[in-house]
Structure 1
Amino acid sequence: MAITISRTDYDELWKECNPTPLVSQHSGYCERVEVIPEQLGEGYIRTIQFRGIDLSLFNYHLHHDLYVIEDEGVGASWEFGFNLSGNRHRKRTGESFLEWGAYEATDTSITYANEPILKVDIDLEAPATLFQLIAESLEELPIEIRRCVEDSDEPCFDEANVITPAMRSTLEKILHCSFQGRTRQIYLEGQCLELIALKLEQLKEPGRSPRNSSCSLNLDDIDRIHLAKNIMAEHSDNPPSLMELSRQVGLNDFKLKTGFRQVFGTTVFGYLHQHRMETARQLLAEGRMNVREVAQTVGYASPSSFAEAFRKQFGVNPKSYLLSKKSV
């Protein structure tokens, strides 16, 4: 079952559910929490407004897939996003992205219910905010980004790439920030600027490709590729081979491999690795298993191999991560 709703009705539903949002006013920033309408799911969106920057923390899960039919019109977005979990508005698990410029809102936004939404967005109130931050290094960025920063009439630039270990470390600091008052403002503003810097550095890397690259997959192909992802997630401790997976979803191995990368921005086994590591991180954070048990649960026979993979993914040893969560 899926829920289909217009953007106008969707926004109204949120307003009805949050007639008086929980708002905290502080010197230098404002913090607001809105809960998701119970008809749609459970969880919340926390928005922290600084000078020129809005930091939004999404933490919820849906009861059913959600299709929001956009109202026709023109909008603008100056956003750095980091999608830790879930498939929302074409942003997928493990992706960092940049949306910059004016766009026409004529599409349908889809959020899938198969994974919880855990997402961090950094929205700039105006494009000039970024220009002020990076004016001296603007020439180092790709030409399409420079055009968008310098000329507001340029079409929207939409780019997606992976969340790096350095980004993930900074995201963890934001999500688990325990500071209050003025210290909270200074700390979170600093982490936002670090994420912006890390994303801009990623844009300079050779071989990156914007989201709007051509794709020849039809809707049935995409559904089968999503099925392949679900199979790999459900059997991550003992995954099928690529040929077995191809037979299960009814695609040849070439279309599965190339299509999976187009849809999810990574290979089949790249996704499997990301899923295993994220599952391991969650299990360690819960603190009910030791490192060896977590390694076995996510499909690693060797604890040392698991520790090396975890360290490469998150920049920290799994035992150290486990101890840090127990001390909180």
Structure 2
Amino acid sequence: MTELTLSTGHPVPLKPAPVKKFRGTRLPGADLRQAIEDTYTVSFHHFTTDLFQISLRNFVCTSEQSFRVTETIEYMRLETVLTGELHIKNPDGSETNLLPGQYRLTDEKSYEFEIKPSQGCQYFVVYIIPALLEQTPMGETIQPSESRMMSDTMREVIHRILDNPFEEKLRDASYDYRIRELLFYHISAPPFTMPGELTPAEIAAVYAADAIIAANLNVHYTIPELARMVHTNVFVLKTGFPKLFGVSVLDRLLQRKMDRAKYLLETTDKQIQEISELSGYETPTGFINAFKKIFKISPKDWRKKSRGLM
């Protein structure tokens, strides 16, 4: 499906790797290929169905690197950056700088991009197979387009895809539902207007910090630590989170934890202890107390209520 080389033409030696040993954001149920070289590490997670394919790609470089992607099958793709940035050089000579919070639809078969050593890049790709477009109402309106801001609803759909908690059959059904949901929001969402007080780079930094928080609920990063990780300053995060999410950085972490806990309580039969761990709490007691403080109800009763049992 995807061939990856350096811009010099030298192949990037991606080889199958054990998923269980991988440290970082994973794509549940996906195959993993990695290339670990002196100047770069590349990880490709790839999940395939008859109607769509999903890819999560991570690049970490010790020096500036240029890569070339060649797609062997011409499917339209939705591409969005989670962290870092993707400086894309298209075959027609045009350039696209894709930042966190932005996405594009493209059917380009081949393109080059640069990765900065200080940032690296993690990006998410959906391959939209023509049969899926045929099944999608107004699917004919889904066409290649320039980069644009992603709505909060679309970002949450991608978060749910990466946070898929189900076993195989339900996992695959969840992916199918979420991909269709993503396309629906692309079709239906009006142009997304960002706060004028923030620059595009500052908006991207806030979205990148939010992605790091969502992927590491068990780690309580300080605001200075987050700022260093996304190459901005403390002021941008302190002012940007309330503007984009309506809450502070700390409250966003708590919000993310509770969102995951509610989702797991409502959609799975996992034990409270496991849910507390997956939601970033060290002990079930700490989780239960935090949950009760916010929702005035215990996690067990929340589960019962969500299923109409009380």
Give the alignment's Cα RMSD to 1 decimal: 4.3
Q: Deviations over 1:232-255 (max 9, x none)?
A: xxxxxxxxxxxxxxxxxxxxxxxx
Aligned twin of 1:287 = 219
Residue 39 to residue 158, structure 1, CA distance change in 2 (3 Å): farther
Alignment map for 1:141-180 (pairs within 5 Å): 141=141, 145=143, 157-180=144-167
| 1:36 and 2:35 matched | yes
Residue 269 to residue 5, structure 1, CA distance change in 2 (3 Å): closer
Is contact 1:56–1:122 with CA below 8 Å preserved after alignment?
A: yes
For the residue of structure 1 that corresponds to 2:205, the secondary structure is: helix
Aligned twin of 2:303 = none
Q: 1:83 aligns with which of 68, 81, 84?
A: 81
Is contact 1:55–1:121 with CA below 8 Å preserved after alignment?
A: yes
How big is the shift at 1:48? 0.7
Fraction of identical pairs, as percent: 12
Any gaps of 5 or more consecutive residues in structure 2?
Answer: 21-27, 89-95, 228-232, 261-278, 283-310
Q: 1:129 aligns with which of 124, 129, 132?
A: 132
How big is the shift at 1:43? 5.0
How big is the shift at 1:77? 3.7
Is contact 2:133–2:139 with CA below 8 Å preserved after alignment?
A: no
Residue 120 to residue 289, structure 1, CA distance change in 2 (3 Å): closer
Aligned twin of 1:218 = none
How big is the shift at 1:186? 0.9
Is contact 1:61–1:117 with CA below 8 Å preserved after alignment?
A: yes
Q: 1: distance between equivalents of 2:156 and 2:170?
A: 19
Q: 2:234 aligns with which of 298, 308, 314?
A: 298
| 1:96 and 2:32 matched | no
Q: 1: distance between equivalents of 2:280 and 2:69?
A: 44
Q: Deviations over 1:119-156 (max 9, x none)?
A: 2111024x34312323xx257x38xx3xxxxxxxxxxx
TM-score, normalised with respect to structure 1? 0.56
Bigger helix share: 1
State how many pairs are aligned: 232
Is contact 2:106–2:145 with CA below 8 Å preserved after alignment?
A: yes
Any gaps of 5 or more consecutive residues in structure 1?
Answer: 146-156, 209-265
Q: 2:176 aligns with which of 185, 189, 204?
A: 189
Is contact 1:32–1:46 with CA below 8 Å preserved after alignment?
A: yes
Q: 1:326 aligns with which of 265, 280, 287?
A: 280
Aligned twin of 1:242 = none
Is contact 2:79–2:104 with CA below 8 Å preserved after alignment?
A: yes
TM-score, normalised with respect to structure 2? 0.59
Aligned twin of 1:220 = none
How big is the shift at 1:199? 2.0
